[in-house]
Structure 1
Amino acid sequence: MSMIKSSAWSDTLLDASTVDTAIVFDFGRVVFDWQPEALLSRVLPRRAATPETAAHWVEQIFQSYQGDWGDFDSGQVEVPALIERIARRTGLDEAEVMAVVDAAPASLTPLSGTVALMKRLKDAGRSLYFLSNMPLPFAEHLERAHPFMDWFDGGVFSSRVKVNKPAAAIFDHALKQFGLPAEQVLFIDDHGPNIEAAKALGWQAVQFVGDAELERELIERGLIV
């Protein structure tokens, strides 16, 4: 589906200095819940039978979203090659790895508090965008599954531009695609290095720790009332 839409700006009582501020959301653990330990406990119950073994296999499979999984996020490797690489590296059966990859997109469930804040921002006339490290099959699933994806005026998935956060190139690409100057953007992400990378490039940025804290921040900035 097309992710680029025109924004319907509305008259509000918000401070004039913030009228043009656009909000850019990360997805994992900000808009969508992501609990890989719970995923592995459900899909690989024999392997991930305890919190300790679940944490072990999370590190082995996802590699802190570097390595094989980082290549998947950046669109450098497709599912069949990813399965083969992870199985060979970890000793898991290919069927086990495939089960994890197949189950992962649906395990990205909306965080209701953040979605409610997004609705308030949209109702206040704010332009919403996203910038997310996300494998292509997962991105396509999210676009199909969630009607609120239509609220976004645009977005960048790492797998479609072949580079991951926190590389400067993906932030530069996002600004060009959105047609925005860095100072006009407020970026919300849960991962500290991504926040620091954005700030170094002149973006406004807030580290996400929860929807209540984000609500306070947005009110203080005059972005919602």
Structure 2
Amino acid sequence: MLFDLFGVIARHQRPGSLDEMAALSGAPTDAFTTAYWIFRQAYDAGQWTAPQYWTAVLHSLSLTARPDTIEKLRLADIDSWSRVDDRMVGYVQSLRERAEIALLSNIPADHADAFLTAQPWVRHLDHVAFSGKIKAAKPDPAAFRHCITALHAAPADFLFVDDRDQNVLAAQATGMNGHLFTGHEERAAALDTWLSAP
């Protein structure tokens, strides 16, 4: 079983965090939010370092990319993605008796390092693929192929669980089974059914 992280096991970005980062940068929230997401894919995919990403964001807003500002934004950004759903963490850990369990998450390399430090349970899974580390971010097929190779399994042996349609469809295009995560309650029935299939 291959799980997405944010929106499934971990929570989405903390509400209000983009307003706080915008204030740190000195930009209006709307403009900051647009710049934050426009450049995100390259950062998630390990094509840019944190300073490169934040410099691009600030320059697009006609702001000076000072090292101290970049570091404050970087740390605030990491903190904004730091929450987990403890119930899902427990559930995923319980599945290890029944299947190999892996993670595939779009997350920058420096965020991944911080997440691993704060959440040591992740290290006990069968495989962890963080986009910033493997240099490929969903829905890029290369991200899914990395997991197929790493776990020495056929695509059809996987059930990929994600809260975004485009990522589930991309996984299915590689030959994986896919499940769109919409909540904790429906999750148990769907995943347990798949695990029980002959």
The bucket for the TM-score relative to the shorter chain is 0.7 to 0.9
The normalised TM-score by structure 2 is: 0.85
Structure 2 vs 1, CA of residues 80 and 47 (structure 1 numbering), >3 Å: closer, same or farther? closer
Q: Number of matched residues?
A: 193
The residue correspondences of 1:54-73 to structure 2 (distance < 5 A) are 54=29, 57-63=32-38, 68-73=39-44
Give the superposition deviation at 1:34.
2.1
| 1:138 counterpart = 2:108 | no
The 3-state SS of whatever aligns with 2:47 is coil
Q: Which residue of 1 aligns with 2:83?
A: 109
Give the superposition deviation at 1:178.
1.2
Contact 1:25 1:129 (8 Å CA) reproduced:
yes
CA distance in 2, matches of 1:156, 1:140: 12
Structure 2 vs 1, CA of residues 88 and 43 (structure 1 numbering), >3 Å: closer, same or farther? closer
Which deviations, in whole Å up to 9, do the C-alpha atoms of 1:39-74 show, x marking residues without a partner? 1234445889xxxx65653232122xxxx2211111
Give the superposition deviation at 1:167.
1.3
The normalised TM-score by structure 1 is: 0.76
Q: Which residue of 2 aligns with 1:5?
A: none
CA distance in 2, matches of 1:222, 1:155: 20
CA distance in 2, matches of 1:93, 1:33: 32
Of residues 131-140 and 85-94 in structure 1, the stretch that sits farther from structure 2 once superposed is 85-94
Structure 2 vs 1, CA of residues 56 and 208 (structure 1 numbering), >3 Å: closer, same or farther? farther
Aligned CA-pair RMSD: 2.4
> Higher relative contact order at CA 8 Å, sep ≥6: structure 1 or structure 2?
1
Structure 1 stretches lacking a partner, 5+ long: 1-22
CA distance in 2, matches of 1:24, 1:101: 28
Contact 2:156 2:177 (8 Å CA) reproduced:
yes
Structure 2 stretches lacking a partner, 5+ long: none
The 3-state SS of whatever aligns with 1:33 is coil
Structure 2 vs 1, CA of residues 97 and 39 (structure 1 numbering), >3 Å: closer, same or farther? farther
Which deviations, in whole Å up to 9, do the C-alpha atoms of 1:151-206 show, x marking residues without a partner? 31112111122221111122112101111111111101111111001111110111
Structure 2 vs 1, CA of residues 163 and 46 (structure 1 numbering), >3 Å: closer, same or farther? closer
